Structure 1
Amino acid sequence: MLSGARGVDGVPDVGVIDEGGLKGFVDINPCFSGIDRETILQLSNSVYSDEEYARLEREAKIINGDAHSNILSMDFTGYYVPHSAYFIGRDTPALTISRRQLKFNRKCHERFGGGRNIELLYHPLLQAIIIRTCDEGCGFAWRNAEGSPILNFSAKAFCGAVYEGQDWISGYSFRFRGIMRERGNSKAMIFFLDEPQIVADKAAKKAGDAVAEEQRHHPSRYIPYKNSELNEDSDTEEWKKRRNGMLYAMRKHRDKIVDGLSETDIAEPGVIVENPLIGGIPTRNEIRGELSRLLMLMQEV
C-alpha cells in the first residue's frame, strides 16, 4: 500500500479484521477518496455470518441505548455516568472530526508514541474508530520525515461516510476522547463516536438556544446534533436522556469489550479485500507478468 501523509499515492489496500476482538473493523486509509458508507458497511458485514451479525447488531443497540437487556437492567437500574466528552481537557488525547478532515491533538502523539505510521480501523455498527501501531510500509504517515507530528488529515470521503452513518448535522464538528490500551508490544487508541463533544460554532449555539428554555434548570445544556433531532416529530425524551449521560450498565458492558482486547487482537492483520467502488486491482507480480508478456510480443514483431 502506498500512502502519503496529506493524501494517497496510488490506490491503498482496504482490509477487514476477520477474527478476534476487533472482528468487523475496516482497515482504511482515511485520506483515500474511493470509499463511502455503503462500501464500509458491506466490507464490515462480509466477515460475519447472519447469526453473528444479528447478535452483534443486538449488542450494539444495547450499548447505544436503542434496545433493552434484562441482564443489564439488573445492574444499577436508572443510574447514569457522565459522557466521556465532559472529561476532555488540554491533557486529554482527542480526535476532532469535521465534514472534511480528521485532526489529532498533540496529546494523541505524546501518549501513543510509536513510529511514523499508524493504521486506522472503523466499525460502522459499533460506532468506533481505533488507531494502532504498524510497520512503516503499512497504514499512513502521521509523522513527517523529520519525526514531527502531523495533526490534520484531509479525509472528505471518509468523514462523509461517518457523518452519514452517525446522522450528524453537517455544519458541526465533533471531538472525541481517546482511550489508550497497551498490550505487550501492541498499542491501540479507541474513540467512541456516540459520545461527542460538539465544537460549538454560531450554528450550534443557536440550536442550543432553541431548547434553552426547557433546559434552563438543568446544570448542562444538550445541543441537538443529529439531523433526526431537528424533525418536528423527533422524540425529545430521547435527547433529554442523552443529556443525563450514559447508563452505567451500558458503560460497564462497553468497558468489558475494550478491556478484553489482547495483544493478539490489537495486532490482528485481517485480510485484504476488494473495494467494490474500484473493483479488482492486479498485484505487482501480475503487472510484471503482463509487462513481460507485452515486451516479448513487441520483440517478436
Structure 2
Amino acid sequence: MDSSEKEKIRIRAKGYRKEEIQVIRATPVEDVFNPSARLRVAAYCRVSTDNDEQVTSYELQKNYYEELIAKHDNWDLVEIYADEGISGTSLNHRVSFAKMIEDAKEGKIDLILTKSISRFARNVVDCITIIRDLKRLNPPVRVFFETENIDTGKSDSEVMLNLLAIFAQEESHTKSEIMTWSIHQRFASGNFITPRLFGYQIDRDKPDRYIVIEEEAKVIRLVYAMYVVGYRYKEIAEQMSKLGFVSNIRGDRKWNANVVRNIIDNERRCGKIIAWKTYTPSYLDHKIKKNNGNRDQFVLDDHHDSIVPQEVYEYSLKIKRMRKISRYFGPIPPLTVINEGILRGFVLVDPRYPGFNYENYLFASDYVANSDGDKRNHQIRKGDVSNFDLDGYEKADARLFVTRFTPSLTFKGNRLYFNKASIDKLNNPEYVEILFEPKERLLAVRKSFKGNPFAFKWVSNEGKGITKSCSGFMLTLYELMKWNDNYQYRLSGTKGEGSDESIIIFDLDTALPLTKKIIDKGETYDKVSINLLDEYYAYHYGKNIYEDAYSMRLYLLDLFKSWDVNTAKVPTEADSYTSWAKGIINSHLSALAEGGQ
C-alpha cells in the first residue's frame, strides 16, 4: 500500500459530517423496581425435600412473593409457580417450572422473580440455556435473582450469572458427595431405611423396625408357595384376583404379574436386608441405576422376623434365573437318586433343566452311595482272568466295531438322539429316563411312563427316534468331559438284560468325536460324518489290557443277572423347598378359596 492510499484511510477515519448526524437512542432497560414500568410478574420457588421443615420453607416463600408483588402497583401477578420436594439439578419432574417457561414463551410473563440461582437451577447448562431462551423471546422475559441482585435484562448480567451458576452447580455436587458419604455411614452402622412394606408394619421404637402382619403374611407365603411349585407370575396374579386378596399396603386388590414379581424379588420378606441396591450416578440428571458393584452394598441376614424362610427366597430367585436363561418353566426338579440295585448312586436327569452342575449331581449321588475318589480306577491285574500272561495284548476298543445294530446315543449342540437299535433293545417303550453317575461318568437309560416328571418321549408315532432338546444337561456334560462345542459325540451303549429287566449303559469316556466333511463330486456334493479318533488307533486296536481302566459297574452287569433296575428313586434334601410350598398350598388354598382364613 502506497502513501496516498494510507492518507485516504486516515481521512475516512476522522469521520464525515459528524456534526450533522442524528442519533436515535435505544430504549433504556427499565429497572425492575421502576414504578413507571408496567410488568406482568411471576415468581418461582422450590424446596428440594418434602420433610416438615422444608414444607414450612415452601409456604413461606409463596407468601413472601405474594406480598412482594402486591406492594408494587405497577406489577400484575401472573402466578406463583412452585415445585415441592424436587431437586434443582435437573429439569425433569419440575412440573411447575416447565409450565412457567411455557407461559413465558406464550407471552404471558414479562418478569420472573426467584430467590437465588440455586433455587432456579443448579445445573449450569440448564440455567444459562433457559436464561438465553427467555432473552430471545419477543418481548424478552427477564429473570431477577434476589440474593445475587442480578437482572438478566441488563447487559452485564451474563458474566456474573455464569460464574454464580458454576458455584451453584459445584455446591450441589458437594452436597451430593456429602449425602453419598452419609448414606454409606448410615448403612455401615446398620441404620437401614425401612419404609412400610406389604406384610409388615413399622415400629419406630424397635431397632429392626419391622413387625409381621399375619393376615398379609399369609398372602405373601401363598404367593411364594405357588411360585416354587411352578406357577407363573400371571397365573399367580389371576388366582389372587379370584380369591380377592389385598395386594399392597393401601388395601388395593389389584393383582398383575408385576405385583407378584415385586413380592418375589424383595429379600426383606425372608428377614434379610440388602441396602444400596440402586444408586444415582449423576447429581445432574438424578437417573437411578441398578448397583452392579458400582457402590458398596450392605447385607444383613435375620435383620427382622421373616415371612418366608430364606432358603425359599433363594430358591425362588434360582427359579427366576433359570426361566430367564433357558425359558424353563415349572419348579426346580428335585435332585433324585437311585438308592438300591445296580443303579445305586445314579441321579435322574431332567434334560430341560439347566440349573444343576457337576457338583450338584455328585452331592446327590453321594447322598446314598457315599465314597471317595474316582470310581474309574479298576484295572485288570495279572491272574484275574487267566493264568496266561496277557502283557502286550490290547483290549479291543468297542468304537472300532460299531454297527447299525449297536445302541448309540449322539450329542449335537444342545440336542440328543438315540438310534433305532437303542429303541429296539428296550423293546420299544414310548418313554424313557436318563440317569447319570457322576463319578464313573456313566449314563443309563431305562423304561419309564408318561406322567413321570423325569420321563421324556424318545420315539415318534412311527416308532422312529426323535432328536430331543437337552439344553439343561448338555452344558454340565460338555464341561465335565471337556468336549469341543464344534463336534458331535457318539456313545456306544451296552445292553444289560435279565429277569425281565432291561437297561442300556453308555460310557462317557468312550465318546467318539465326529465332524462333518463335504465331499465335492463336481455337480453335487455329499456331507459325511468323519470320526476323530486319536492317531493312536491307526496302529492299535485298543489299550494294553493291563493298563485299561474300566468301570466296576459294567463288570457287575456281566457278573449278576438281577440288578433291581426299577428300584424306586428317592429325593435328596434339596426337595424340602417344594415340600414347604406344597404344605402352604394344601393348608391354605382350599380354605381361602371358600372365603375362610
Do structure 1's residue 267 and structure 2's residue 588 form an aligned pair?
no
1:182 alignment partner AA = E
Structure 1 residue 291: Cα displacement: 1.0
> C-alpha separation between the residues in 1 aligned to 2:561 and 2:462?
29
1:245 aligns with 2:542: yes
The question of whether the paired residues in 2 share the 8 Å contact of 1:82 and 1:245 is answered with yes
Distance 1:221 1:27 in 2: 30
Counterpart code for 1:35: F
Q: Name the counterpart of 2:589.
A: 291
Shift of 1:10: 2.8
Q: Which moved more, 1:260-269 or 1:83-92?
A: 260-269
Matched with 1:159 is 474
Q: CA RMSD in A?
A: 3.6
Distance 1:145 1:129 in 2: 22
Residues 148, 290 of structure 1: alpha-carbon distance in 2 compared, 3 angstrom cutoff: farther
Partner residue in 2 for 1:210: none
Structure number with greater CO (CA < 8 Å, separation at least 6) is 1
Q: Deviations over 1:197-253 (max 9, x none)?
A: 221236xxxxxxxxxxxxxxxxx98448xxxxxxxxxxxxxx789965244354787
Partner of 1:62: 378
Alignment correspondent of 1:227: none
**Structure 1 residue 136 displacement after superposition:** 3.0
SS in 2 for 1:130: strand
Aligned to 1:87: 401
What residue is the counterpart of 2:330 in the other structure? 10
Taking the aligned partners of 2:464 and 2:352, their CA distance within structure 1 comes to: 16
Alignment of 1:155-234 (within 5 A): 155-201=470-516, 222-223=533-534
Summarize the Cα distance change of 1:9–1:113 in structure 2 as closer, same or farther, 3 Å threshold: farther
Query: CA 1:157–1:261 in 2, change beyond 3 Å: closer, same or farther?
Result: farther
Match of 1:281, SS? helix
> 1:90 & 1:164 partners in 2: Cα distance?
29
Q: Which amino acid aligns with 1:272?
A: P
Residue identity over aligned pairs, in percent, reads 22
Moved more, 239-248 or 155-164: 239-248
Contact 2:346 2:437 in 1 (8 A): yes
Q: Retained in 2: the 8 A contact 1:16–1:25?
A: yes
Specify every segment of 5 or more residues in structure 1 that has no aligned partner in the other structure, as ranges: 203-219, 225-238
Q: Distance in 1 between matches of 2:346 and 2:508?
A: 14
The answer on whether the counterparts of 1:13 and 1:28 sit within 8 Å (CA) in structure 2 is no
Alignment deviations for residues 118-151 of structure 1 (CA, whole Å, 9 cap, x no partner): 1111111111111011233323232568463442
Give 1:28's aligned residue. 349
1:55-106 Cα distance to aligned partner (Å, 9 max, x none) = xx2x41335xxxx968769962342222211122223221012331111112
Task: Answer with 1 or 2: which has the greater Rg.
Answer: 2
Tell me if structure 1 keeps the 8 A contact 2:338–2:345: yes
Measure the CA separation in 1 of the matches of 2:481 and 2:450.
Answer: 31
Change (3 A) 1:190 1:200: same
Q: Does 1:132 align with 2:460?
A: no
Match of 1:211 in 2: none
Q: Which one of the candidate residues 415, 418, 426 is aligned to 1:101?
A: 415
Contact 2:345-2:437 at 8 Å conserved across structures: yes
Q: Match of 1:200, SS?
A: strand
What are the ranges of 5 or more consecutive residues in structure 2 without an aligned counterpart? 1-228, 231-326, 518-530
Which amino acid letter does the alignment assign opposite residue 165 of structure 1?
L
Larger deviation, residues 258-267 vs 69-78: 69-78
Aligned to 2:578: 281
**1 CA distance for matches of 2:582 and 2:540?**
53
Distance 1:136 1:260, change over 3 A: farther
Deviation at residue 14 of structure 1 after TM alignment: 3.4
Give the 3 Å change call, closer, same or farther, for CA 79–275 of structure 1 in structure 2. farther
Matched residues in 2 for 1:256 and 1:21: separation?
11
Task: Say if 1:95 and 1:104, in contact at 8 Å, map to a contact too.
Answer: yes
